[in-house]
Amino acid sequence: MTQRPVVIGVDSSTQSTKAAVVDAEDGTLLAVGRAPHTVTGEAGARESDPEEWWSALARAVADGLRQAAVPPAAVTGIAVAGQQHGLVTLDPAGRPLRPALLWNDTRSAPQAAALTQALGGPQAWLARTGSVPVASMTAAKWRWLTEHEPAVAERTAAVRLPHDFLTERLADAAVTDPGDASGTCWYDTGRAAYDPELLALIGLDPALLPAVAPTGATRVGTLTRAAAEALGLPAGVAVAAGTGDNMAAAVGLGLGTGGLLDHPVVSLGTSGTVFAATRARPASPGLSGFAAADGGYLPLGCTLNCTLAVDRIAGLLGLDREDAAPGDGLVLLPYLDGERTPDLPHATGLLTGLRHATTPHALLGAAYEGAVFTVLRALDEVLTACGLDPADPSVRDRPLRLVGGGARGRAWTETVRRLSGRPVVVPTATELVALGAAALAAAAATGADPVALAREWGTGEGETLPPVPRDTATWERIDGVLDRAHPLLAG
């Protein structure tokens, strides 16, 4: 019996690496290999060793192939989707000079504010990059490095994003893609190129940066002999340019210029993200105006505090994460790590409305409500950036696609339904970032359109939960508290 071709889609996230082994012809997920990462830091610092990402990738691929019981010779393509914004600094031999600064490292907030003003304010940045610098953006992290560790910056021979670092290890190709590049704040999304003036303002030599491939599905080479040996794969496997994790999730859902447009997605993970595919170039100060992996655009709102923050509240209360009840007049904004949307990098958690009758279950429910409210308020900005009116009934009635780890939790799903009043589609597939990367890998191997391929695979399909009446009272209560507390939270 002839072995069908398979591809490997890699999701290198904040906490772990996942390697999805996928049937390249029908998209069947054969297995998912996993390996954890270590994140260190306190007082706003969040760092990881890029070498651990590489060793985790090798372990995850080996685990996936073992589970799938397919011969390595059947693998025809591989692509990496990585956590966005991280700053990787390399020496001339391609070795990291220090741990990578991760997307949720908030120490660079002062540098982000300084960069914003240096160019003339938010609108000037929106016109160039589609995004305003915040602590998450790579440009702010580079400025932080030059100010706090100038010796490291001086020794840096190459600057990479997390997925770029791994792709270069696979194919010996110094390359990125428009999607991940658009999260740096030194890439002009209108001209689809690095911006020399912004690089000069940031203080970054363009010679340190990788080339930009046309799309994340672009074939940039094949596995080197060293990479093939490390991964246990043949040396001829096609390597795609890959992309950022959010862009890969959009591909996995079939969103893009070759698929569904203006279709809102809510992702509940360590961070909460909301995004939609559009042909319109977004320019909203409250969003990241990303490019998509397929050449369109992906306006995105991101909150730092989502499942991890709510789990922390549950732990403090000694409750299981599903032991939540409606907030009962409470407002709990779980901004435990500062916040990105809204831009409050120095914020802490805020609780109001406590009474003698307050129960731990209501406290936990209020944490869910605060996190979901923050995500859904960002969603309204995403829809506006797509040229849609969030208050229009025809827009408000569109289903949300709910993905990420939180989408598998009853408390998360029901809170989203209650505060949005929308139908909710929960895709059956659980590894959409890795599946999107697999579609990019298959496209690199065959020349197919990755978004169209993902739609043929049906990776974005799932159960539709009907709408429930919208809890406007809770929404308005949280909205009022956040507006009044904003100056306090800003520090």
Residues carrying an active site annotation: 245
Which residues, in sequence order, are bridge partners of residue 272? 268, 303
Asked if residue 425 lies in contact with residue 463, where contact means CB atoms within 8 angstroms, the answer is yes
- Concatenated DSSP letters for 228-274? HHHHT--TT-EEE--EEHHHHHHHHTTBSTTSB-S--EEEESSSEEE
Cβ-Cβ contacts under 8 Å for 233 (sequence gap 6 or more): 61, 72, 75, 78, 223, 227
Amino acid identity, residue 260? L
The C-alpha atoms of residue 194 and residue 187 are separated, in whole angstroms, by 4
Asked if residue 98 lies in contact with residue 257, where contact means CB atoms within 8 angstroms, the answer is no
The C-alpha atoms of residue 253 and residue 149 are separated, in whole angstroms, by 40
Strand ranges, E, within 281-360: 288-291, 297-303, 331-333, 350-352
Q: Indicate if the alpha-carbon torsion angle 263, 341, 428, 440 is positive or negative.
A: positive
The C-alpha atoms of residue 33 and residue 21 are separated, in whole angstroms, by 8
Could you count the other beta carbons within 10 Å of the beta carbon of residue 463?
9
Helix (H) or strand (E) holding 19: strand 16-23
Asked if residue 5 lies in contact with residue 72, where contact means CB atoms within 8 angstroms, the answer is no
The C-alpha atoms of residue 165 and residue 51 are separated, in whole angstroms, by 10
The C-alpha atoms of residue 292 and residue 278 are separated, in whole angstroms, by 9
- Cα 342–Cα 284–Cα 197 angle in degrees, nearest 5: 105
Q: Which two tokens stand for residue 456?
A: 């043929």
